[in-house]
Amino acid sequence: MLLIVMHNNQEYLKYLNQAALKEGIKDIAIIKKSGIGTRLIGGTSDIIFTRGSMNNAYDKAFVAAVKDEEKTKHFLDIIEADTYLEHLNMQDRGFVCAVPFHYIKNFELETPIIKNKEVKMNISQFLKENRILLNLEASNKKDAISELAAVLGNSKEVSDFKLFLNDVFQREALNTTAIGNEIAIPHARTDGVKEFVMAIARVKRGIDFVALDNKPVKLIFLMGTPKEKGVNDYLQKLAHLTRLLQKESFRNSLIRVSSAKEIIEEFRKVEDV
C-alpha cells in the first residue's frame, strides 16, 4: 500500500523522509503539485484509513510504499512519538492516509532529475502483439489473471513465473484492482520479474472483479515490475495508464479494434497527442 502524508511544511516532509529510511522504508518520494489532495488520489471512496482532513490547500505530500498495514501503523506510531515532528506540526496536523497503488492518479516527483521537466511516458513501447489476448474466455477473476499471465510465462522479463503470479494474486487479495469503467489493472512489484512487463486481455462478456462501480471488467491490463527497481517509475506507469483509460473514446477504441496490432496502434496514437 501507499502511505501518503500531505503537508505544506517542506522541512516536516524531509524529516519524514529521513525517519522512513531509518525504518528500512526505501521506496519514498516527496511530491509537489497544487491541490495535491484531489490530484493525487481523487475521491476518498477507497482509502484504507485516514487521519486529519484532506483539502486543496496542500501542495506537497510524502509518499512511501509500505509492505502492509501493520508496518504502516508502526511507522505512524513513530511519527506520533517524535517530539521534533510534533514541534514542526503544531500549526497544521496535515492529512495522512493509505491507498492501494493503482489509485495514484497524477503526480510530479520533486527530484533534481525531473523537476521542472516533463517526463515522456509511453506504455506502447512495452506492448507486444503476442502478449495481447482479444477474446479471453475465462469466466472468473482468478482464471482470467492466470490465462493472461500465461502469455508472459516464457518472456525474457520473467525469471520466476510462479512467484510472479503468486505476488499478483497476493496483491489482488488486498484490494480489487478493478478501477471502474470495465477496467482492471492486476499488478505486482515482485522478485519474479527482471524488467517491467505487461500483457492485455479483452473479455467480451465481462468478468466480476468486485469493481467499485459494480461493472463487469472487459479490459484487463496485467503489469509486473522488479522490487529492486524501486517504486517511483512503476507508479508513473500506473498513473499514466490510469489517466489514458479515463478517456472514454480511448476505452471504446480498445474494445472496437479487431487485432492486437491495432491495440498497440491505439496506444501510440493517444500517447502521441
The string of pLDDT tens digits covering residues 211-259 is 878 899 999 999 999 987 766 677 778 878 888 888 999 999 999 999 9
Summarize the confidence of residues 93-99 as an average pLDDT: 74
Q: Cβ of 92: how many Cβ atoms within 10 Å?
A: 15
* Residue 163 cell numbers, joined: 512467484
Rounded to a whole number of angstroms, the distance between the first and last alpha carbons of the chain is 32
In this prediction, residue 53 has a pLDDT band, given cuts at 50, 70 and 90, of low
Each domain of the chain, given as residue ranges in start order, spans: 2-103, 124-271
Domains 2-103 and 124-271 equal at CATH topology level: no
* Residue 178 cell numbers, joined: 478493478
By C-alpha distance, which of 152, 149, 154, 199 is closest to 169? 149
**120 contact partners, CB below 8 Å, separation of at least 6:** none
CA atoms of 106 and 88, how far apart (whole Å): 27
The string of pLDDT tens digits covering residues 103-134 is 554 444 433 333 333 445 789 999 999 999 99
* Residue 143 cell numbers, joined: 482464471
Question: How wide is the angle at C-alpha 73 spanned by C-alphas 106 and 222, nearest 5°?
Answer: 45
Instruction: Mean pLDDT check: name the lowest of 122-126, 170-174, 199-203.
Output: 170-174
Domain 2-103 has CATH 3.40.1440: no
Helix 260-271 to helix 248-256 angle (10° resolution) is 160
* pTM reported for the whole predicted model: 0.63
Give catalytic residues, as residue numbers. 187
Is residue 119 exposed (0-12), middle (13-18) or buried (19+ Cβ within 10 Å)? Answer: exposed
Superfamily of domain 124-271: Mannitol-specific EII; Chain A (3.40.930.10)
* Residue 10 cell numbers, joined: 517542506
Q: What is the Rg, in whole angstroms, of the alpha carbon atoms belonging to the chain? A: 19
